[in-house]
Homo-oligomer: A and B are copies of this chain.
Amino acid sequence: MILVTNDDGIIAPGIRALVEVAAKFDEVIVVAPDSPQSGQGHAITLNQPLKLRKVALFEGIDAYECSGTPVDCVKLAKNVLCKNKTIDLCLSGINHGANSSVNIIYSGTMSAAMEASIEKIPSIGFSLLDFSFDADFTGAKYWAEKLISAVFRKEMPGCNLLNVNIPSCSPEEIQGIKVCRQAEGTWVEEFQEGVDPRGETYYWLTGRFVSHESPESIDNDIWALSQKYVSVVPSGHDLTFYPAIPKFKHLENLH
């Protein structure tokens, strides 16, 4: 069985595109947020109960909208809806907008995929570099099918999470796939400041992404996407920075 989820919400065009691809491979269950959850990262809902509601959105496919975050959706799918079934693959997306570089940290789409991978479920997050509602998912669907075909029910070598980003161009222009690392980069934030109807100042997050990679660096996802390749970053959930462990060993001398 294939679990499909996302962070843009169950009525986003991107998840519909992914469900259509997934249904070519196996039985599908959709569990996705009932509202947009972009930027929710790996948030989980601890302080309130969650609701699941069956919806008739995808013909012939069981689908549930969830009141929680993308990670909540995966937890409910595994532990409630599919308690007595095996989820062989989790697909998350297709996200409206990039999740390359450091965006994997903020992304509900990638966090849902990561949650499944923590639960030992092979998992792929897909994102298209186009924020618009009526983005063209033709190329994304083509490459998603290729990638799923290559890994579904096959050994994933010591890594069960792929972060896949698809460039925004016509399908014919896509050059192929690059397997690469997450680029180094950050968001330069500029809060939009305003005054609300009660006279209180508010701040609204905005900003732009800045790559910290040199132009010669050609082993990362930002470069691959700039060259119209689909980027595939094998990913994990271990945030240990191993090279620093020996360098901080002196802290063990503190008393």
Q: Is the CB of A147 closer than 8 A to any CB of chain B?
A: yes
How many residues does chain A have at the interface if contact means C-beta atoms less than 8 Å apart? 85
Interface residues of A in 100-120 (CB under 8 A from B): 102, 104-106, 111, 114, 118-119
Per-residue CB contact flags for chain A residues 194-208 toward chain B (1 = under 8 Å, else 0) read: 101000111111000
Q: Is the CB of A50 closer than 8 A to any CB of chain B?
A: yes
The listed residue (B42, B194, B249) touching A49 by CB distance below 8 A is: B194
- Bound Cα distance from A72 to B205, whole angstroms: 9
Listed stretches A16-24, A85-93, A165-173, A239-247; interface member? A239-247
Q: Is the CB of A40 closer than 8 A to any CB of chain B?
A: yes
A232-B248, A236-B239 given as contacts; is B44 within 8 A of A41 (CB)?
A: yes
A104-B239, A177-B254 given as contacts; is B205 within 8 A of A51 (CB)?
A: no
A158 / chain B contacts, CB cutoff of 8 Å: 241, 243-244, 247
The listed residue (B71, B78, B240) touching A233 by CB distance below 8 A is: B240
The listed residue (B177, B193, B237) touching A251 by CB distance below 8 A is: B177
Q: Is the CB of A238 closer than 8 A to any CB of chain B?
A: yes
Listed from nearest, the 3 A-B pairs whose CB atoms lie closest are A41-B42, A159-B244, A234-B244
- Bound Cα distance from A191 to B181, whole angstroms: 36
Shortest beta-carbon distance, A30 to chain B, in Å? Answer: 17
Q: Is the CB of A182 closer than 8 A to any CB of chain B?
A: yes
Chain A interface mostly: mixed
A234 / chain B contacts, CB cutoff of 8 Å: 240-241, 244-245, 247-248
Do B150 and A245 have beta carbons less than 8 Å apart? no
- Bound Cα distance from A45 to B255, whole angstroms: 41
Interface residues of A in 211-255 (CB under 8 A from B): 232-245, 247-252, 254-255
- Bound Cα distance from A229 to B189, whole angstroms: 38
Q: Which residues of A contact B (CB under 8 A)?
A: 36, 38-52, 69, 71-72, 75-76, 78-80, 102, 104-106, 111, 114, 118-119, 143, 146-147, 150, 157-159, 161-163, 176-182, 184, 186, 189-191, 193-194, 196, 200-205, 232-245, 247-252, 254-255
Shortest beta-carbon distance, A83 to chain B, in Å? Answer: 10
Nearest-CB residue, chain B, relative to A193: B80
- Bound Cα distance from A152 to B251, whole angstroms: 13
A51 / chain B contacts, CB cutoff of 8 Å: 200-203
- Bound Cα distance from A153 to B45, whole angstroms: 37
A163 / chain B contacts, CB cutoff of 8 Å: 239
